[in-house]
Structure 1
Amino acid sequence: MDIESIIIGFIFCLTTSIGIVGNVIVLAVLVWSAYQDKLLSSEVILSNLALSNLIFLLSGGIPTALFKFRIKYLNTDADCKADIYMIRIFRTMIINLTCLLSCFQYAVITSPSSRMFCLKAKMQKYFVLIMIFLYIISISSSVYGALYPVANANTSTLMYAFDLGYCFVIYPNGFIFQMTGFMNFAQDLIFLTLMVVTSICILVILYRHGKQMKSIRHSKENQETSAEHRASKATVTLVLLYEILYGIECAVWFYQLSASTNHLILNDVRHFLSLAFPSFFPEIILFFNQKLRKRLHC
């Protein structure tokens, strides 16, 4: 085993381990809170996001980390198809739920006189249906992820494929290779754009309320508003982190498409970037959310 594989394997192991432990902690705290009291809608979103992160890390992070140490347990095409399908489903759920969280947080902190304030009541009224709809989108739009993965392939003859090491995703021709990628990008772009717009609106509201918050620092209303603003800052931070990581990942992916290259190191870079957000998510949430930190201490 060469030193490069050891270093990359250690990085993947460390990132995946931190993400798994962190998301388990967040999920456990939220489940315990649900047992003691009813969860808020934003907390339900966070619990589903933590669960999606956890499954994504288990499906995508562990096989990659183990493969770097020459351990491969996905030995059949069916194993690879199931694993890649799970990765695709919960990767899509992560972006969908992050988008929903940003939209919901914007509706929460907007002024009661604003038209957008009505969005909060509608979102809470149809909250269950929205969550089911997002799961349906993720499951149905990720079916193509189970079509082309195989366990073994001759890497020297691969032209339109992604080499994950432990599995290969081989497309029959260049058209399907590029069309699948662009369709996936177009779907993500819709949610990413909505995330950016709502995050900018949240930042504008936080800026406008800055001086007003200082004047009522010791009031109960200010304490409640401060909690909402901390949640808003956490949401904006999550969106900003996701946008940065996704932007770099897309740049690498576009290069692979244009150059029709299949270097394993580029696939590792893309895969690491996709694992970074689920791994950093718990730290960001626990840093901003005092309520969860208090429950964690208890």
Structure 2
Amino acid sequence: MINKQNKYFFLISIIMVYINEFYYCFKKKLNPLYSEKELDNIFFLLMTHILKCDKVTVLFLLKKKKKISFIIYKELMKKLWELKNNRPIQYVIEHAYFFGMKFIVNEKVFIPRPETEELVHWILQENYNEDPYKDNHVQIFDIGTGSGCVAITLKKRKPKIGHIYAIDYSNEIISIAKKNKILHNVIIYLMKLDVLNDLISYCPKTKNNSISIVVSNPPYIRLSEKKILHPNIIQYEPYRALFVPNHDPLVFYKKISFWIKKRFNGIVYIYFEINQFIYLDVLNFLRNIGFFNIEIKKDYQGIFRMIRAIYYGKK
């Protein structure tokens, strides 16, 4: 005999809703918050996540005006409410894509961005050895690893790299990077170190003929720039991964650069993501403290977003 609760679940499981109805509701609720292109991207990210399918399937369902179960509809409406409250889609579905790979994310880590993909692409383009089979002589330090997307991508694309160290300041962040490390089945070394307080005391193993790469997308948004950010960034993404004080916006660049000068032997290539409004300050700082071959690049939006410099360590 079917009890009332089972009967309820049976009934809602057979109730169907047109997928197009949700699509129109989705657009109407979020239209004030996002552009048309952003809305489409968010919609397909949500639908492919909930329906466990690809974008082509979702397009087919829309074109044929197919129905979805009421249970799925309820789940979609719940996610829509989160989006309406400015929660980023990546946190809503608990993953983001970087270099075409899926990474677990939550509010403890910064959401990977296309600009950072460009920074990683720059690193991958460089030839650090005349013999590409000597990649095992290169070691990489990813400072402020967050989800681990930079370190993991570099290891996936350059599996012969000897050692990759992914560094961040809290166990909660490191645990997310560890999950992604396991997800992508790579060997990287996760380390808990606070850049502002602990990094200077960490002494990596380097030799006079060694090659090291230091890459970082550190906090670089001045507090005075908060007003130009989208509300979902301010409300949900980790404060410590975003903002620096107005009076010392280069604080993280300074800490990392002086650590390199004090602790490294051999050649060090340093790659930073930078604030478009103070890129000349970063460039001049690196030049003044003894970095060479400094190059600055624009991102896909035509904004000065990344810088590379070389430091020749103690002989």
Greater length-normalized contact order (CA 8 Å, ≥ 6 residues apart) = 1
Q: TM-score, normalised by structure 2?
A: 0.25
- Which protein has the bigger helix share? 1
Larger Rg over CA atoms: 2
- Which protein has the bigger strand share? 2
Q: TM-score, normalised by structure 1?
A: 0.26
